[in-house]
Structure 1
Amino acid sequence: MIDDLGSEVADAVQWYWETRDGQGAAQRDSEDSTRGRRAEVLGGQQMDGFAGLVEDILRDVGVPADSIKHDYHATLPGYYRHEKEWDTAVVYDDELLAVVEYKSQASSFGNNLNNRAEEAIGNNTDILQAYEEGVFEPSPAPWVGYLMLMADNDDSRSVPGVREPNFDVDDEFKDATYVDRMELLCIRMVRQRLVNNAAFILSDDEVGMEGEYWEPNEELQFRRFARSLTAHVEGQIDIQDSASGSQ
């Protein structure tokens, strides 16, 4: 599966736009809809096509289905707060191997994008600190992933002003569109190791209904995201299985 992800991502993108447009129920009833079957298992929310795709990718490399948790079942303790409900968590043999968040942004880019940034930075800082403090012992360092699907339209391509009453804003944010700002968030979280990998996907409500999407940054492609996730998880499962077999 991981060598042929283009059509799989297209299905998840199409599911997002169809569900946002109120057509998700029809897709859940379609026997030919892979995105519909995946999302139905998870409840059929807008980003569940991606959650189902990640689950399929993990199962394809040998992760048992009952080790892949979603939503309420993916609730984990934190360090700065008591708990957090992740979108997906991989818990294998009582060890935390990975967590993933799936986010989207299709309107109200101003305040909502700031909220997304604060949320992502806070969530990732919290779980990494929880790991460092031994909350998940004897788990290895968990793989942390962040996926953003953003609408590519006139609003998201507009350039908002910046306020500088006291200090200058980072030059990279000046003259940056909302799309640019989200791309900066994703790549900086990767570079600062707040996440192991991030995926940044653009689409719009017209061609997105046909599954069309584009990825503006090679470092943030879904294929890299998936390969990084499976390499980490598969490696940890092999280590644990080998350790069990030697006892």
Structure 2
Amino acid sequence: MAIDLVDYERKAREAVQAFWENREAARQKQIESGKADQGERASVTSGKNMDGFIALILDIIHANGLTHADIHQKRAVLTLPGFFRPTKLWDLLVIHKGELIAAIELKSQVGPSFGNNFNNRTEEAIGTAHDLWTAYREGAFGKQPRPFVGWLMLVEDAPESRSPVKYNSPHFPVFKEFKSVSYLQRYDLLCQKLTQEQLYTSASLIASPRSAAAGGNFCSLSSMTSLKTFVASLAGHIAGESARLE
């Protein structure tokens, strides 16, 4: 069964470029209004920064057979039932013939506060997945095959995210893979472990500098967490579900 990756590299560069352009546009708008938020928050309040990646995901879905699926992007229809809480709001849901085909989270982090944000993102990602799969086990979505559950993270590629990070663990040693690594490497390890532990079907890390506003350049830190691995996994899942349901 052939899968279509819809020229994802070009579209990903466009998405990255749009990410940085939208952040700057939001910051300028806040400044011009005289109500600028403090720090980096001024460039994230528009809520449109990851739209380019949503467009790429939509192209993957349509190109691999689910042309008539219900793809939900508006906040009012993005909730799924949870097990530990009543509902969880996702960034993108794909539903076809009453079955949950895919649930995807798209996140980003720009400096300088990499430390606190990394911990928050980690706890959120783990909790979200554990909640969904427990709800799935308990029949929240009916009797259906496992959906694709994806986590896509864009992190600013900067000296602060590339530098080794100190840690404090006075009672027990940390796992050796976490020693003398940067925040980008921590995110890469997080994505690897999220996939290895089957919390997510695929988890991807995209590293991109602010200068990518001019050309959309980005990179991956490992094959396992690359954008290509993510889109190939999603495309294969969509193609398989299309063959099963159409």
What band does the TM-score fall into relative to the shorter chain? 0.7 to 0.9
Matched residue pairs, number? 225
Match of 1:38 in 2: none
Match of 2:22 in 1: 19
Deviations 1:56-109 (A, max 9, x none): 211122223651112422211111111011111111001001111111111110
- Amino acid of the residue matched to residue 79 of structure 2? T
1:152-163 aligned within 5 A: 152-163=157-168
Structure 1 vs Structure 2: percent identity of aligned residues?
Answer: 38
Equivalent residue for 2:176, pick from 157, 171, 179: 171
Match of 2:32 in 1: none
Following TM superposition, where does structure 1 have runs of at least 4 consecutive aligned residues deviating by more than 4 angstroms? none
1:1-247 aligned within 5 A: 2=5, 4-22=7-25, 45-64=48-67, 67-72=70-75, 73-107=77-111, 108-241=113-246
Distance 1:230 1:14, change over 3 A: same
Match of 2:33 in 1: none
Q: Take 2:74 and 2:160, find their aligned partners in 1: how far apart are those partners?
A: 30
Unpaired segments ≥5 residues, structure 1? 26-42, 242-247
Cα-Cα RMSD: 2.0
Q: Take 1:44 and 1:167, find their aligned partners in 2: how far apart are those partners?
A: 40
Q: Take 1:112 and 1:141, find their aligned partners in 2: how far apart are those partners?
A: 30
Q: Take 1:240 and 1:202, find their aligned partners in 2: how far apart are those partners?
A: 36
1:54, distance to aligned residue in structure 2 (A): 0.4
RCO greater where, 1 or 2, for CA within 8 Å and sep 6 or more? 2
1:22 counterpart SS class: helix
Q: Take 1:7 and 1:195, find their aligned partners in 2: how far apart are those partners?
A: 25
1:23, distance to aligned residue in structure 2 (A): 6.8
Deviations 1:145-175 (A, max 9, x none): 1111111111111222111121111111110
Match of 1:36 in 2: none
Q: Take 1:75 and 1:65, find their aligned partners in 2: how far apart are those partners?
A: 20
Q: Which moved more, 1:102-111 or 1:224-233?
A: 224-233
- Amino acid of the residue matched to residue 47 of structure 1? M
Q: Which moved more, 1:83-92 or 1:138-147?
A: 138-147
The TM-score with structure 1 as length reference comes to 0.85
Distance 1:24 1:164, change over 3 A: closer
Match of 1:32 in 2: none
Distance 1:24 1:218, change over 3 A: farther
Q: Take 1:86 and 1:63, find their aligned partners in 2: how far apart are those partners?
A: 20
Asked whether the 8 Å contact 1:24–1:44 carries over to 2, the reply is no
- Amino acid of the residue matched to residue 230 of structure 1? A
2:204 counterpart SS class: strand
Unpaired segments ≥5 residues, structure 2? 29-45
Asked whether the 8 Å contact 2:5–2:232 carries over to 1, the reply is yes
